[in-house]
Structure 1
Amino acid sequence: MTTLRPERYSALAIILHWAIALLLLFQIGLGWALEDLPKGAVQFSGYQFHKSVGIAILLLSLARLVVRLFKARPAPVQDGKAQMLLASAVHVLLYAVMILGPLTGWIIVSTAKVRLQTMLFGKVPWPDLPVGQAFHEPAEVLHGALGTVGMALIVLHVAGALYHHFKREDVIGRMLPAAIRSHGAIGIAGFAAIALGAGALICGLFLSFSGNKSPGAKPPGEVASGSAADVPIEEPSASASSEPAVAESAAATAAKASPWKLEKGGRLGFAAEYSGEAINGSFSRWDATIVFDPEDLPGSSIRATIDLASVDSGDSQRDDMLRSDSFFAVGAHPKAQFVSTSIKEAGQGRYVANGTLSLHGQRKPMALRFALKISGDKATATGNATLQRLSFGVGEAEWSATDQLKDAVGVNFNIKATRQAP
């Protein structure tokens, strides 16, 4: 018994086709733009997103291949032998690009000297492939070429579809919902799809990634001017320590303590020692919620969140190492957070904020010492703290020895703030 081929592709095949087409064009544009992004946190964010989109394309392409193999589809349009051979070659090569592009990218990530945990869209951990370092360079060369090859194949694919459409052969319509039937409507839908594809390519080329924003603070319910709006405050789980709730409760019931908004130009830095050499760096993205009054210390609180991917130590290779799984592991733990539990006076204009630092999946107590000068509604503060990196699991394996890289790391800040209305 012969199974009749349908006039159109199945609904699932249609959905997968257009989803992959738009994502692939977006990914090609994004891939071309990555090298031109500013080095550091901006480029890091771009590459992380590029990896996520690539894995999404791989999974959708494998699903599309399964549908193609097991679901009945329309018969090939009859044409000249050369045209049919070219059409088949373009289809096969497109599948190769859709699958080999993400696979070679996955190999590059899995064999990189600086290992970074891949988190799909910042949420789902994705494993590395068990392949050797010898695969790195060939994968890198092939991956770079596939963008250009993929773009050429897409142009040929679109040209072939338009060629048949102008011959009044229903090729485009087979990949459209059955409701679109007339030749004119199919043509309009086809050109709309081309416009959407061009838009996806342009979107990838010019997509903006945050990174070089000035530090700032956000009072409750408000993002401060100059702060990193894309760095949300991480709420601890219910099973975690209750210090944040204590701090928030104190702020809510304070009679005098007021929120403060950080001004632009503040700095959050760190200092470490490697082989006797001082390493000084900073973070370009961080924010804070500050409620404070010297006359109401029980009602005062500090909550600061740092985007660890924004680390800048003055050396791009070292910054990549700090972001890697050996140190901050920003893929799995993108942010650090300090939440005060109490603030006490330590002398004239000097204070100690005791609290908890969450870093690299660990929560440890930390004391933040700072000097504060308030003049009307303006304040200037400088402060510092010391932490032991190994207690947070920062610097593992060969970096766990302290003869070269010291365990103690200093944290320092210098900020100006303006008092806000309660």
Structure 2
Amino acid sequence: MTTISPARYSAAAITLHWMIAFLLLFQIGLGWALEDLPEGVAQFAGYQFHKSVGIAILILSLGRLAVRLVKPRPAPVPAGRAQAFLAAAVHALLYGVMIVGPLTGWIIVSTAKVRLQTMLFGTVPWPDLPVGQALHEPAEVLHGLLGTVGVALIVLHVVGAIYHHVKREDVIGRMLPRSIASHKAIGVAAGVAIVAGLLALFGGRTMSFAVPTAAPSVEASSAPVEAASQGAVEEMPEAAPSEVSSEAASAVAKAAPWKLEKGGRLGFSAEYSGEAIRGTFKRWEADIVFDPEDLAGSSIRVNIDLASVESGDAQRDDMLKSDSFFGVGADPQARFVATSIRKRGEGRYVANGTLTLHGKARPLAVAFTLKIAGDRATASGSATLQRLAFGVGEAEWSATDQLKDAVGVDFSLAARRISP
């Protein structure tokens, strides 16, 4: 074997090399997979994850570059001028893919017409770059090319390493732990690394972002909110204990849990320039414990996946998901929790509670009608909220002359009592 000094790259360089290699292959496969994802929740989740992995690659690549500049590394293997130039070019271009790829993606996100807060792995908010809109299209073109270029460079890199290994020039071994020293062991490790890389590429390509189907399937609604038929909605104070009927207060707790059936609907309506805009949320779930004779022991909790919004216009849906409206990057869910339930007539109720939306919690009263037949129940209801109280529709959308402040919400559902 060729004698070189130092014999191997530093432990930091080796660790970063393999981490970046597998992440980069996974990211390329993931980028291809995003093209096939359906619009909506899966696509939004896929792009958020793609951005997270990209930023991770950028940070690791900058760390790898710093280690390369600071730590001593093995001398180049003696080779002809053309071969040495090709090896140096492949290495330089790989660094370009590792760093420019995430940077162009970051520019695309930062210059998009509809801004969506990037949350790294759904947790850490990541800022936009202070760059102009003119960079959007060039960055998009370059970013799209880098996936194919990256695969080609990785193949050249691997072929070159194998070529040197066959010539018994210990190039691969320099990027492996010291314990892997023999020519045969290095060959086996190289084979394992190639298989692992292909699995990373395939894993990214087949990545699924399907949302669990615990929530009911929500069908599109074309009906407007009919508050009169559902029961007028008012902002009401929480019911004091004395407002609960004496029968319910003295009765043994009877409230039982209910499971939602498929086919429910959660819709909304707003007015823009004199026209009604209606939409639905395709994914939501509710935990309901209820009995008409035990309102004190009843409870309602609803979680709404804001990224599942559909209003019949894909561009408008993207805008609704943006930071100016729902801000799904930072707050992907809206939550309603009832704090009291009051009866207002035969089969008519009001649930007073708190709605949390866009990082703000405000009181909300939801009027609903309920019919129970044995272990099956159907319910429908409505509420009215002021979007500006939740910071929905900020900046140029904060004026109410075109986009009204009041937003109507309506729902219908069927549920079955869960037997103890």
Q: TM-score when scaled to structure 2?
A: 0.89
Deviation of the 1:389 alpha carbon: 0.2
Which of 258, 274, 277 is the aligned partner of 1:276? 274
Deviation of the 1:334 alpha carbon: 1.0
Partners of 2:269 and 2:206 lie apart in 1 by 36
CA displacement 1:77-118 (0-9 Å, x = unmatched): 112221111111000000011000000111111111101111
Deviation of the 1:313 alpha carbon: 0.8
Aligned pairs for 1:228-239 (under 5 A) are none
Amino acid at match of 1:325: D
Amino acid at match of 1:118: T
Amino acid at match of 1:201: L
Deviation of the 1:265 alpha carbon: 1.6
CA displacement 1:119-152 (0-9 Å, x = unmatched): 1111001111111111111111111111111111
Deviation of the 1:421 alpha carbon: 2.9
| Paired residues of 1:333 and 1:360 also in contact (CA < 8 A) | yes
Cα RMSD over matched residues?
1.9
Partners of 2:262 and 2:6 lie apart in 1 by 63
Partners of 1:191 and 1:68 lie apart in 2 by 25
Aligned residue in 2 for 1:302: 300
CA displacement 1:312-350 (0-9 Å, x = unmatched): 111110000000111011111111100000001111111
Partners of 2:193 and 2:129 lie apart in 1 by 35
Aligned residue in 2 for 1:289: 287
User: How many percent of aligned residue pairs carry the same amino acid?
Assistant: 73
| Paired residues of 1:373 and 1:379 also in contact (CA < 8 A) | yes
| Paired residues of 1:214 and 1:264 also in contact (CA < 8 A) | no
Deviation of the 1:212 alpha carbon: 8.9
Deviation of the 1:378 alpha carbon: 0.9
Partners of 2:369 and 2:295 lie apart in 1 by 14
Deviation of the 1:39 alpha carbon: 1.3
Choose 28-37 or 48-57, whichever is displaced more. 28-37
| Paired residues of 2:172 and 2:190 also in contact (CA < 8 A) | yes
SS in 2 for 1:188: helix
Matched, 1:23 2:38: no
Amino acid at match of 2:63: A
Matched, 1:376 2:374: yes
Aligned residue in 2 for 1:404: 402
Structure 1: which 4+ aligned runs deviate by more than 4 Å? 211-214
Deviation of the 1:306 alpha carbon: 0.8
Q: Which has the larger radius of gyration?
A: 2
Aligned residue in 1 for 2:365: 367
Deviation of the 1:170 alpha carbon: 1.2
Matched, 1:156 2:171: no
Aligned residue in 2 for 1:207: 207
SS in 1 for 2:288: strand
Partners of 1:390 and 1:304 lie apart in 2 by 21
Name the CA shift for 1:29/1:418 in 2 (closer, same or farther; >3 Å).
Answer: same
| Paired residues of 1:215 and 1:267 also in contact (CA < 8 A) | no
| Paired residues of 1:214 and 1:284 also in contact (CA < 8 A) | no
| Paired residues of 1:40 and 1:316 also in contact (CA < 8 A) | no
Aligned residue in 2 for 1:10: 10
Matched, 1:189 2:175: no
Matched, 1:330 2:322: no
Aligned residue in 2 for 1:348: 346
Deviation of the 1:23 alpha carbon: 0.7
Partners of 2:185 and 2:344 lie apart in 1 by 76
Aligned residue in 1 for 2:314: 316
| Paired residues of 1:42 and 1:212 also in contact (CA < 8 A) | no
Deviation of the 1:5 alpha carbon: 3.2
CA displacement 1:34-79 (0-9 Å, x = unmatched): 1221012221111111111100000000000000100111111112
Aligned residue in 1 for 2:123: 123
Partners of 1:133 and 1:254 lie apart in 2 by 64
Deviation of the 1:254 alpha carbon: 7.2
Partners of 1:70 and 1:121 lie apart in 2 by 30
Aligned residue in 1 for 2:263: 265
Partners of 2:310 and 2:45 lie apart in 1 by 14
Aligned pairs for 1:86-105 (under 5 A) are 86-105=86-105
CA displacement 1:170-209 (0-9 Å, x = unmatched): 1111111111111111111111111111111111111111
| Paired residues of 2:108 and 2:139 also in contact (CA < 8 A) | yes
Q: TM-score when scaled to structure 1?
A: 0.89
Aligned residue in 2 for 1:173: 173
Partners of 1:304 and 1:69 lie apart in 2 by 54
How many residues align structurally? 388
Amino acid at match of 2:375: D
Amino acid at match of 2:183: H
Partners of 2:183 and 2:70 lie apart in 1 by 29
